[in-house]
């Protein structure tokens, strides 16, 4: 299938980093794979078809995003929005490199929640998350909390208040833990605000 609409979809996918070829307007396997990867990352039905939900998501994401290496806050996002959205994923399994509701790693969870729960683009890895944002003396709701589990910042979660954070743990999947927990307390590095 070839059309101007397909070319527009390819351009939107390219802006998001899902389509690495020149938009041609031809809907082949490269475009279908890009669509499916986009759908997987944004929690849509993964069918490779650009239906209304996928098209709306592409247009919405494209109009509000910049590069993933910068912290970009949307005026509409609030810390409570982020926390409420994050809790929808409690129980999702841990998957190394995972960035979707089928499985998350710790930074993939944070990246997905901020992007889809409030239109806030944050860096993808713990190391780059730790280098960005603004340090806070004590964590506020919606701040990212960091831990040293391997020598340097290597794990992160989202502070939800009352001394608790939500995170994708390698042995627990997405769960809520306490900062005063005997495992996490001695490994705590600090918190950063992205708002």
For the annotated catalytic residues, the residue numbers are: 106, 155, 167
Pair of tokens at residue 79: 């810390």
For every residue of 88-147, DSSP letters joined together read GGTTPPB-TT-EETTEE-HHHHHHHHHHHHHS-B--SSHHHHHHSSEEESS--TT-EEEE
Whole-number Å distance between alpha carbons of 33 and 48: 7
Cα Rg for the chain, rounded, in angstroms?
A: 18
- Contact criterion met (CB below 8 Å) for 112 and 99: yes
Whole-number Å distance between alpha carbons of 187 and 126: 14
CA angle 16, 19, 25 (to 5 degrees): 115
Neighbours of 71 (CB within 10 A): 19
């Amino acid at each position: 299938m070839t059309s101007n609409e397909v070319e527009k979809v390819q351009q939107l996918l390219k802006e998001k980093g899902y389509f690495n070829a020149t938009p041609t307007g031809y809907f082949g396997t490269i475009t279908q794979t890009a669509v499916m990867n986009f759908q997987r990352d944004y929690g849509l039905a993964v069918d490779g078809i650009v239906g209304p939900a996928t098209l709306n998501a592409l247009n919405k994401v494209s109009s509000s995003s910049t590069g993933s290496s910068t912290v970009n806050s949307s005026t509409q996002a609030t810390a409570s929005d982020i926390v409420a959205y994050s809790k929808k994923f409690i129980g999702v399994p841990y998957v190394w490199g995972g960035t979707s509701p089928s499985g998350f790693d710790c930074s993939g969870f944070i990246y997905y929640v901020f992007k889809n729960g409030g239109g806030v683009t944050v860096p993808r890895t713990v190391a780059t998350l730790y280098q960005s944002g603004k340090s806070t003396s004590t964590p506020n709701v919606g701040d990212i909390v960091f831990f040293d589990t391997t020598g340097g910042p290597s794990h992160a979660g989202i502070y939800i208040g009352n001394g608790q954070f939500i995170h994708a743990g390698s042995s627990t999947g997405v769960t809520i833990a306490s900062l005063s927990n005997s495992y996490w307390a001695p490994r705590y590095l600090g918190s950063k605000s992205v708002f």
